[in-house]
Structure 1
């Protein structure tokens, strides 16, 4: 990610909060402009409000925690999530699905939302993620390297190329000079993980964070994640943005800010996400 993109993104978030603070269509106000959004409760009148966040499936565990913290600091607000493949989420928004915030698993998918005029301001990059090979705990196919995924007889599951994790898979195949023949292509990275966990597949390509989440219950590991050098050729940067159709622009901007706050970044780093 180039520096100018990050600078423009930071300015955009600040501008979004400032404009919203000058007064919205409904006359409600929120937290003052100082301090992190995660720590500062909104001063809006008490009442039931719902913030709808569309987010990439790989963000589920982290965003649910950030959402809980956001509700605590914003009395009367309920954060509702819709998790799934990023391209599918953008398609839903294009078809008129109501939402306030969008977080995608790569920048090209967010660019589509921008091109369709769904986004308010400039998206903000907030984390990055890298692919790992995931295999069942006992690894029956004896997968050891990225090249093993192209061996005949290996049942490999990938994300569809239109999905960010699938686009990353295509990139690492090119970097490694191999051609994987998947037995299925899924619309979300969680579906790939599910097929490996259930034993329907010998291996798959998922994010580092998905492997960590699958093994975070405290019990014995259900799957094993294998690092491979080719993965560095396809690091996905995740952007987040308030949407043009948000019912409360200030509240949407505060949630965006919450993901980049110190508290939000701690949650995301603990899940295995890296800096954008």
Structure 2
């Protein structure tokens, strides 16, 4: 069964040191938090196809995941929500091969059900609202600021989060009047949020990349490549599409 965690602190409590005594491949995948639902389903499919496989998933903001891998966290595969984080991983020798783009995403506004603050879009209606966004340097945060800048809107968030799932959580809990999240996160929240499309969002899509890490290449090459193949192949494309991701 797939084990999913958020951040290295939880992952550190898991036994991820290698294959088990019966030779079952154990694979640790670090992925951007917006991939949580899709990658959990893909990992389930991979394990169903090969019951010997044991896949552990750790989700966090893309830059933070690179920090963790650089510090020695046991990741075999890394999937980022921006090229900047992946480029850094390559530059630091954490990724020995060429990353592969496998999905795209766009931003949208979400509000609590009923939209009590009367948000109308990425416009002046956000001026007095409790807005939550991703922090600068996090893919969803950089994209949100780029969109706001292009439309002449100054964002004044009351909170900046390290990953998009935390932004969504602030909205679904009622702590925020609005949040800027990925379309896929809004879709996963269902009727817990109302969605307000950002017409210009498609002009600045987020592009996801995946690669086998140096650890995966050295110790678990076959298993790591099989997971990447699953993400980029027919199984992954179907799952990603089902979750609202665009496909390159």
> What is the match of residue 172 of structure 1?
147
Q: Distance in 1 between matches of 2:162 and 2:199?
A: 25
Matches within 5 A, 1:18-97: 47-97=23-73
Larger Rg: 1
Q: Distance in 2 between matches of 1:274 and 1:147?
A: 26
Give TM-score scaled by structure 1 length. 0.80
Q: Distance in 1 between matches of 2:70 and 2:214?
A: 12
Tell me how far 1:225 sits from its aligned partner: 1.3
Aligned length: 227
The partner residue of 2:171 within 193, 196, 206 is 196
Tell me how far 1:48 sits from its aligned partner: 2.3
- Unaligned residue ranges in structure 2 (runs of 5+): 1-21
> What is the match of residue 240 of structure 1?
210
> What is the match of residue 271 of structure 1?
243
> What is the match of residue 141 of structure 1?
117
The partner residue of 1:159 within 126, 129, 134 is 134
Q: Residues 154 and 202 from structure 1, CA distance in 2 versus in 1: closer, same or farther, beyond 3 angstroms?
A: same
> What is the match of residue 261 of structure 1?
233
Q: Distance in 2 between matches of 1:259 and 1:142?
A: 39
Do the aligned partners of 1:149 and 1:180 also contact (CA within 8 Å) in 2? no
The partner residue of 2:200 within 206, 209, 230 is 230
Q: Write out per-residue CA displacement over residues 91-119 of structure 1, whole angstroms, 9 at most, x where no aligned residue.
A: 00011111100001111111111111101
> What is the match of residue 117 of structure 1?
93
Q: Distance in 2 between matches of 1:73 and 1:198?
A: 37
Give TM-score scaled by structure 2 length. 0.88
Do the aligned partners of 2:25 and 2:220 also contact (CA within 8 Å) in 1? no
- Unaligned residue ranges in structure 1 (runs of 5+): 1-45, 216-220
Q: Write out per-residue CA displacement over residues 208-248 of structure 1, whole angstroms, 9 at most, x where no aligned residue.
A: 00011111xxxxx1101111122123200000000011121
